[in-house]
Structure formats: C-alpha cells, structure tokens
Amino acid sequence: MKAVIQRVTSASVTVENRIVGQIGQGIMILLGIEKNDTEIQADWLLEKIVGLRIFNDLDAKMNLSLKDISGALLVVSQFTLAGNCSKGKRPSFDTAAPLLEGKRLYDYFVASAKLRILQVETGIFQADMQVGLVNDGPVTFILER
C-alpha cells in the first residue's frame, strides 16, 4: 500500500463538474492499493498518517499531528501509484490490486479513518476525478507499507 500525503490548507475532488469531496486544513491522501495488501497495511498506514507530526506549532516547527489540529482528511484512490515505469515508455500496473479487492481495502481505509478523524471526505473509487489543492509548505511525503 502506498500513499502520497500532502499537507493542505484546502483540497477538493470534482467528478463530472460536481464537487464530491472538499476539506479545509488537513491532509490529502492519494492512496494506491497493491496485490497482497491487507487490513494490516491499511491500519498501519492510517495510524502513521494521522499521527505524523507535520503541522506547525506556535514556534513554526513541525510538531503537531492531524489529530492535534483537528484537521480533515481527503482520501483519493490512485491506482497509478502501483505503476511501474522502469521498463519501456508505458507504465505497467501488474502490481495493482484487482478491482474488487482494491475497492474493499479503500472502503476499509476510509471507514477506519472515519472512526479516528471528525471530517473525512473522499473521491469516487474508479471515477475520472479532478483534484485541486493548496499544498501548505509545500509539505509532501510518500509512505509505503
């Protein structure tokens, strides 16, 4: 399981000219699910993200977590994170989870996030989405489990 996380002041997802998810201050997650991923990886990744101290304290040091600031999450499925670009010019997606398993783990991740964070918004799994965000910093991390 892979995640690209970005500290944002705002972020949104639009599908067919309609905003389907939108947050203010928080973290936007691009979530890639691969073959053999399980709830164990999802749980680890979620705990890491919500506890990661990437928000500034009063001394402008990254010392606060998403929980500390009561921030929001925007979770967007991104199967292209499983893409392998090492050979040729066209990415291979051989390591991406099969559709039903990817959807099941994505839904599990989102449901688990809703138990920990007050505001959790999402895109639409497998939809053509337009993602907009204001990256705060910019602060971006890549996490894998």
End-to-end CA distance of the chain: 5
pLDDT in tens, 48-107: 999 999 999 999 999 999 999 999 999 999 999 999 999 999 999 999 999 999 999 999
CATH at 49: 3.50.80.10
* Whether 125 is catalytic: no
Q: Which range marks the domain in which residue 126 is found?
A: 2-144
* Whether 9 is catalytic: no
Catalytic residue, from 38, 80, 126, 130: name it. Answer: 80
Closest by CA position to 29, among listed 128, 120, 136: 120
Model-wide pTM > 0.85 = yes
Catalytic residue, from 55, 79, 109, 122: name it. Answer: 79
* Whether 22 is catalytic: no
Burial class (CB in 10 A: 0-12, 13-18, 19+), 109: buried
Helices and strands (DSSP H and E) totals, the chain: 3, 8
Give the pLDDT score at 145.
Answer: 85
Return the amino acid letter for 114.
K
Number of domains, the chain? 1
Does position 44 have pLDDT exceeding 90, yes or no? Answer: yes
